[in-house]
Chain A
Amino acid sequence: MNPRQLIHEKVNDKQLNKNLEYVMYQLQGNRKKLISERYGDWEALREEGKKVKQNALSRLPELLERFEKNATANGIKVHWSKDNDEANEIILNIAKENNINKILKGKSMASEEIGLNHYLEKKGIKAIETDLGEVIIQLIGEPPVHIVVPAIHKNRFEVGEIFEKHLHVERYTEIEDLNRVARTYLREEFHQLKMGLSGVNFAIADEGAIWLLENEGNGRMSTTVSDIHVAICGIEKVVESFDNAVLLNTLLIPSATGQSVTTYNNIITSPRKESDLDGPKEVHVVLLDNGRSGILSKKRYSASLRCIRCGTCMNHCPVYHKIGGHAYGATYPGPIGEVISPLLFGIDKYGYTLNLCSLCGNCAEVCPVKIPLTDMIRDLRNEKVKDNKDDILGINNLPKNNAERKNMEIFAEVATNPKKWQRLMWFIDKFAPFGKPFAPFINGLKQWTTCRAYPKMDASFHKKIKNMQGVKYE
């Protein structure tokens, strides 16, 4: 399906819109309430968070090396991967070396980004999702609709149907029943757990440790019950100290779900030690670049790597509410997706998502690490149309929009020429009332009048103000 059709389909999916809008406003409300009741100075905290992340990014190579050194000393195996293929291969090899044909996964957007499940499947290894939302969408073969709440587009009735069809149980509609079904299904899988996979929220350089956040306990199962734990970690996740990670965690959780802490905090410092009763025998961290150092080198966009994947920009995006994450066609949807998808995977492939924004600015206002998302979206629109092209992936494959360019040139011409401007106003004043029958044939007006009455124009201002008493008309 081409992007236009996809957007058309999603915007007209009433059930989707209803589900999304309901939950998104609930998440917004939870966040707002918590922040106003429990945080003395949230804005100062955001500023701190921004600094901590920016600082880490400005010393990224140094911190990554420190992380590697300390993690290795702790007994963790650190791998470096420059792209999807390398990361996938590293994970496949770990599985192969240990004769493993089934992996259990905690939630990881990085694994979605590299297409891990699909890759492993082709190599004969099954990757089973264990996060409830991920379980639901895996059953129906869909990608996540949201980076934090991946199946939020499905309500409990729809989930009941999915479980009935794919897990062959009765059709339940109550949350407790659905949880029970999922638990029974997952227990079965956890029994045979040998290799667990997870994402990383913070990689702590000074400690050589990783920190994972979750609410369901499946993450803890995947990372402790297994013999081997593999964590995929985007290189931008590294921070210097434990204190830094705590600060960012304090920003992340309220932003994401409106909780003050997650139910589970898994801070992993090493594989099982001799005196330990449990824990994996091997812990691997796969550091993933996949275009991130490219973003880091671009002054205009490097701040987008501050993202801590809280998802609140999506929760607050009025366009996302209407179309959901799938319409963006990329792993990362919503405002942050509009910024990083074109930069990471090609502006020729994802440049169209930059139109999915009314520039309302709500995302940038709530982003816990103060990424100027709206400005970046506008700047990326500028990349598409400016003459001296910058080095953006896929920029030279973009088709030229000559009609739009012409319009903008005409606009600039008229906006700097008072005679032409006044003639335009005169024209609107004279003829706008007669335009109505032609509206369906005039581009712009045609789209406008699909859901609005023909605009009532009144351009008599110039005439009126000329003779207005007391006004100095010059």
Chain B
Amino acid sequence: MKVYFFGTCIGSAAFSESLICSIKLLQHFGVEVIYKKDQTCCGQPSYNNGYYEETKKAALFNMQLFSEPYPVIVPSGSCAGMMMHDYITLFEGTEHENMAKEFSQRVYELSDFLHKELKVTLEDKGNPVKVTWHSNCHALRVAKSVSSSKALLKSLSNVELVELEKETTCCGFGGTFSVKEPEISKAMVESKLQDILNQKVEYLIAGDGGCLLNITGALEKINANVKTMYLYEFLAKRIGIA
């Protein structure tokens, strides 16, 4: 099977290793990965600020770039949600309406693709470890891929998943929200940290670059003793392919 891989902007700017691991996972399960070198960003930065015309340009660029009928695999629920849901809204009633519909139904969040389409089984080769999980808001509510992400995590035999008390509460990232409303964002991420620290785990795992940048940065600032890792990097390491 052939698929397109969409690296996302935050992924390719800050999580190169995790993206490589995402591709290794796909390859490991027999998928041939096509990487379009001209790819950029899904358009969320302008979309969430209400700049719809600017966003349409970025969206159209992507839809045209990923033109063959292969699945588009996105290692982020936030960007996947944008591409599978919001592109349709953006182009409703325009000449690109059908194109958006066709494109959107081929977009998959990576854990959904692994769990629901490929139905993979993961053989855990790592040592026993305790982790917790943060749900990205758009993965949870737009792409709806969180149940797959957690199912994959839970399937690892040596990993104990301790759930956060307020797992589904936003970490305060919200893209440009974090710099437009820095004080509120700060208060939000501090609550998230408290919850994470209360769980006494070694790792915080998340499936989205934005939340990870936010939470990792905040944990580092207070010199907390919890490591963070992108879900796909964690999975790849656990099954011994990275």
* Cβ of B8 to closest chain A Cβ, rounded Å: 10
Are B184 and A7 in touch, CB under 8 angstroms?
A: yes
Are B170 and A358 in touch, CB under 8 angstroms?
A: yes
Task: Supply 5 further A-B pairs (C-beta < 8 A) apart from A409-B54, A464-B20.
Answer: A360-B137, A361-B138, A415-B57, A470-B33, A471-B23
A448 to B41, CA, bound (A): 21
Decide if A45 is an interface residue (CB 8 Å cutoff): no
With A362-B141, A386-B52, A470-B32 as known contacts, state yes or no: A447 contacts B23, CB within 8 Å: no
B37 to chain A: which residues have CB within 8 Å? 418, 462, 466, 473-474
A458 to chain B: which residues have CB within 8 Å? 13-17
Interface, chain B (partner A; CB < 8 A) = 2, 5, 7, 11-17, 19-20, 23, 27, 32-41, 43, 45-55, 57-58, 60-61, 89, 137-138, 140-142, 166, 168-170, 172-175, 177-191, 213-214, 216-218, 220-221
Chain A binding surface SS class: helix
Are B217 and A448 in touch, CB under 8 angstroms?
A: yes
What's the A-B contact tally at a CB cutoff of 8 Å? 212
With A358-B172, A456-B14 as known contacts, state yes or no: A474 contacts B36, CB within 8 Å: yes
A68 to B16, CA, bound (A): 66
A450 to chain B: which residues have CB within 8 Å? 182, 186
With A383-B50, A421-B40, A473-B37 as known contacts, state yes or no: A11 contacts B184, CB within 8 Å: yes
Q: Counting chain A CB atoms within 10 Å of each CB, which of B32, B60, B174 scores highest? A: B174
Are A452 and B217 in touch, CB under 8 angstroms?
A: yes
* Cβ of A17 to closest chain B Cβ, rounded Å: 7
A38 to B181, CA, bound (A): 39
With A408-B46, A458-B15 as known contacts, state yes or no: A355 contacts B180, CB within 8 Å: yes
Are B177 and A357 in touch, CB under 8 angstroms?
A: yes
Decide if A444 is an interface residue (CB 8 Å cutoff): yes
Are A358 and B49 in touch, CB under 8 angstroms?
A: no
Which residue of A318, A362, A455 is within 8 Å of B172 (Cβ)?
A318
B12 to chain A: which residues have CB within 8 Å? 425, 459, 461-462
Decide if A227 is an interface residue (CB 8 Å cutoff): no
Q: Mark A93-132, 1 if CB is under 8 A from B, else 0.
A: 0000000000000000000000000000000000000000
A404 to chain B: which residues have CB within 8 Å? 49
Decide if A359 is an interface residue (CB 8 Å cutoff): yes
Q: Mark A25-41, 1 if CB is under 8 A from B, else 0.
A: 10000000000000000
Number of interface residues of A (CB under 8 A): 73
A443 to chain B: which residues have CB within 8 Å? 179
A461 to chain B: which residues have CB within 8 Å? 7, 11-12, 15-16, 19-20
Q: List 29 A-B contacts (CB under 8 A).
A: A7-B184, A11-B184, A322-B187, A357-B177, A360-B169, A362-B141, A362-B170, A405-B51, A408-B46, A411-B46, A414-B40, A415-B40, A415-B57, A425-B12, A448-B179, A448-B182, A448-B217, A451-B217, A451-B221, A452-B214, A453-B221, A455-B14, A455-B217, A456-B14, A460-B16, A461-B19, A462-B37, A470-B27, A474-B37
With A322-B187, A359-B174 as known contacts, state yes or no: A412 contacts B54, CB within 8 Å: yes
Decide if A385 is an interface residue (CB 8 Å cutoff): yes
Are B35 and A322 in touch, CB under 8 angstroms?
A: no
A283 to B222, CA, bound (A): 61
Are B182 and A447 in touch, CB under 8 angstroms?
A: yes
Which residue of A21, A382, A460 is within 8 Å of B50 (Cβ)?
A382
Which residue of B19, B35, B166, B213 is within 8 Å of A25 (Cβ)?
B166
Which residue of B19, B48, B61, B218 is within 8 Å of A452 (Cβ)?
B218
A12 to B221, CA, bound (A): 19
Q: Mark A74-85, 1 if CB is under 8 A from B, else 0.
A: 000000000000
Are A323 and B166 in touch, CB under 8 angstroms?
A: no
* Cβ of B5 to closest chain A Cβ, rounded Å: 8
A453 to chain B: which residues have CB within 8 Å? 216-218, 220-221
A336 to B188, CA, bound (A): 20
A409 to B51, CA, bound (A): 9
Contacts of A261-291 to chain B: CB distance below 8 A: none
A428 to B217, CA, bound (A): 17
A382 to chain B: which residues have CB within 8 Å? 50-52
Decide if A168 is an interface residue (CB 8 Å cutoff): no
* Cβ of B242 to closest chain A Cβ, rounded Å: 12
